[in-house]
Structure 1
Amino acid sequence: MKGLFCRLSDSEEVKFVIQETDVPTTIGNHQVKVQVKGCALSPVDIKLYNDLKLQRDTVPVGREIVGTVRQVGPKVTFFQPDDEVVGILPLDTEVSGLCNTVLIHEQLLVPKPEKVSWVSAAGAVRDGLRAYTALHTLAHMAVGQTLLVLDGASPFGVLAIQLAHYHGVKVLATAHSPDDLKFLEQLRPSVGTRESLLARVIGVWDAKVDLVETCLEETGGLGVDIVIDAGVKLYDEEPESQQKQQLPHKHDIITLLGVGGHWVTMEDNLQLDPPDTHSLFLKAASLSFLNDEVWTASAAREGRYLHILRDVMEKLSTGTFRPLVEEPVPLYEATVSMEMVQKKQTI
């Protein structure tokens, strides 16, 4: 059957191809055979595969799947045939989520609520997991705190905003364009008081807007309790692309962080100088790295991982989570769509 794969050329250029692949016919004791109904396309982190020594000639693409159980192994206890399930294929999987059927361990799946669509379930499972990891596992979010979400109009940013507001957190967010700002200002909860989800939207594309000054103004000079970045600038003289221009400097984040605050970063190459760490020390602040792949790359805390996935699906079914998803595309358009996703030209 056909699947989507990533191929790395000698020039380090990433290419996506649809090719035939063999799916194992023998089902393991704890494996589940799932007929795939939908699959999300997320950027492939080639560096992570290399770091974990998982690099092969081709890397399967499309790991967030949703579908129907067709067969279960002899020792499977969580599922029965015809159950609707959602999950994320592990990093070392050899099959693409775009295959008609996949074999996956039962402890990597959770039930899909009946009222949640295939598209919403597949599109929200990874960003929902990432939002939970950032706010609950790493930042220990609590009622009454203040959160700054950088690039709030991104798919991940939207779910982080919705999750934080649900738990009584005051949310600030940055917008990278006037369209993003308008979109964020119109965010409302699906139920309850129709107030905005955001206390303030900060348009960082405008050179007149000072991120640090705005955040300190909103918090009475105390600083924010939690910051979730979408990447940072490390040096003032760093060559800037259009996308890099709107990223905050690491010094700005440290400055606007309050006493006892938590900085959750997606910057895997973050470099802090002694003055930076001294500032964090004076504020008794903490720094955490957001890598949502640790849940499937490690056998630790599987129960917590499944609990998070179940809660993401529950919040989808109740309307607390309303993800940003594009229109579904057929398999034959998957290579073009994946190239755009990899270059961050679409979501």
Structure 2
Amino acid sequence: MKGLYCRQGETSGLKFIIQETDVPTSLSHHQITIQVKSCALTPVDVQLYKDLQLLKDSIPVGREVAGTVLQVGSKVTCFQPDDEVVGILPLDNDVSGLCDVVICHEHHVVHKPEKVSWVEAAGAIRDGLRAYTALHTLARVAVGQTLLVLDGASPFGVLAIQLAHYHGVKVLASALSLEDQKFLEQLRPSVARVIGVWDTKVDLVESCLEETGGLGVDVVIDNGVRLYEEDSEAPRHLPHKHDIITLLGVGGHWVTTEAHVQLDPPDCHSLYLKTASVSFLNEEVWTTSSACQGRYLHILKDIVEKLSTGTFRPLLEHPVPLYEATVYMEMVQKKQLRKRAVVQL
């Protein structure tokens, strides 16, 4: 059967190809076989594979899958054949999620409610996991706090806004374009204020301090950050690290997706004066460590439950056919899509 894989060329960078692959026919005691109905496309973090010593010639692409259980191992207790499931395949998985059939451990998937579509389930599971990790595991948000979601119109930003509003948090969101601003304004009352950073006349720090009466926000979740003013490679819409530290309130929490944040002594001193803290958002930690497996499965179950009740409304592209998967994956890797792409098999 065919699957989507990523190869790192010597000069051309990453190349995505559809190639034939073999799926093991035998199951271990706790494995299940899933017939894939849909698979979401997310960027491949080659550096993470290198850090974990998992880099191969061909990296399987497509790890967020939804489908029907075909077979179960002899000691599987959570699932039966014909159950509908959704989950995230581990980083060391050998088979692409775009194959017709995949095999995984029973603790990597959860039941999918009937009223949730295949595309919604696969498209929301990772962004939902990131939102839970950022807001609950790292920031520990509480009712009445103020949250700033940078790039709120991204697939991750939208679910973070919806989750925060569900828990009684006041949400501010930045918009990178006029179209993003119009979209976010339609989310009211989930978003208390939209800050159009695309407009050069709008100052992010001043807007946040004005909205909070000069006290600053309790939690900031970024989608990238500029480390230096003269950083020519970073997009101009990204906030500077000093701006984020400035708009944080006393006891504030900055959750960053930037793996290489460097804080100078003045930055650390500012955080010290505010008793503020910084956390790094890496949702892969759930599948690379088994220390909190029960909590991880609880989060996945809560995500699909919120999908079924309409609390989560993911930002999705139209379903992508398999023959266009390579083209869409190239756009996903280059961050040229504003919505989550999901391949429907």
TM-score of the superposition, structure 1-length normalised? 0.96
**Counterpart amino acid of residue 182 in structure 1:** K
1:207 aligns with 2:200: yes
Question: How far apart are 1:286 and its partner, in Å?
Answer: 1.0
Other-structure match for 2:277: 286
For 2:215 and 2:30, the matched residues in 1 are separated by 51
**Over aligned residues, Cα RMSD in angstroms?**
0.8
Other-structure match for 1:23: 23
For 1:329 and 1:109, the matched residues in 2 are separated by 23
Other-structure match for 1:165: 165
For 2:77 and 2:9, the matched residues in 1 are separated by 43
For 1:198 and 1:107, the matched residues in 2 are separated by 35
**Counterpart amino acid of residue 124 in structure 1:** A
Question: How far apart are 1:213 and its partner, in Å?
Answer: 0.6
1:218 aligns with 2:245: no
Q: Secondary structure at the match of 2:36?
A: strand
Counterpart among 219, 225, 234 of residue 232 in structure 1: 225
1:264 aligns with 2:255: yes
Query: CA offsets, 1:293-332, max 9 Å, x none?
Result: 0000111100000000000000000000000011111111
Q: Secondary structure at the match of 1:15?
A: strand
Question: How far apart are 1:240 and its partner, in Å?
Answer: 4.4
Other-structure match for 1:130: 130
Residues 60 and 249 of structure 1, relative CA distance in 2, 3 Å threshold: same
Other-structure match for 1:191: none
Question: How far apart are 1:77 and its partner, in Å?
Answer: 0.2
1:309 aligns with 2:300: yes
Question: How far apart are 1:277 and its partner, in Å?
Answer: 0.6
**Counterpart amino acid of residue 334 in structure 1:** A
Q: Secondary structure at the match of 2:260?
A: coil
For 2:221 and 2:230, the matched residues in 1 are separated by 24
For 2:267 and 2:187, the matched residues in 1 are separated by 35
For 2:26 and 2:219, the matched residues in 1 are separated by 47
Q: Secondary structure at the match of 2:172?
A: strand
For 2:269 and 2:196, the matched residues in 1 are separated by 30
For 1:184 and 1:55, the matched residues in 2 are separated by 38
For 1:39 and 1:12, the matched residues in 2 are separated by 26
**Counterpart amino acid of residue 282 in structure 2:** N
For 2:83 and 2:242, the matched residues in 1 are separated by 50
Alignment of 1:89-238 (within 5 A): 89-188=89-188, 196-238=189-231
Query: CA offsets, 1:269-300, max 9 Å, x none?
Result: 11000110111011101100000000001111
Counterpart among 320, 339, 345 of residue 330 in structure 2: 339
Question: How far apart are 1:11 and its partner, in Å?
Answer: 2.2
For 1:41 and 1:81, the matched residues in 2 are separated by 26
**Counterpart amino acid of residue 150 in structure 1:** L
Other-structure match for 1:47: 47
**Counterpart amino acid of residue 76 in structure 2:** V
Query: CA offsets, 1:59-91, max 9 Å, x none?
Result: 000000000001000000000000000000000
Residues 12 and 284 of structure 1, relative CA distance in 2, 3 Å threshold: farther
Moved over 6 A (4+): none
**Counterpart amino acid of residue 298 in structure 2:** H
For 1:144 and 1:151, the matched residues in 2 are separated by 22
1:56 aligns with 2:56: yes
What is the percentage of aligned positions where both structures have the same residue? Answer: 75
Unaligned runs of 5+ residues in structure 1 are: 189-195
Q: Secondary structure at the match of 2:43?
A: coil
For 1:56 and 1:70, the matched residues in 2 are separated by 28
Other-structure match for 1:192: none
**Counterpart amino acid of residue 25 in structure 1:** T
Question: How far apart are 1:12 and its partner, in Å?
Answer: 6.0
Question: How far apart are 1:237 and its partner, in Å?
Answer: 1.3
Residues matched between the structures, number: 338
Query: CA offsets, 1:156-200, max 9 Å, x none?
Result: 000000000000000000000010000000015xxxxxxx21110
1:247 aligns with 2:270: no
Q: Secondary structure at the match of 1:239?
A: coil
Other-structure match for 2:83: 83
**Counterpart amino acid of residue 184 in structure 1:** L
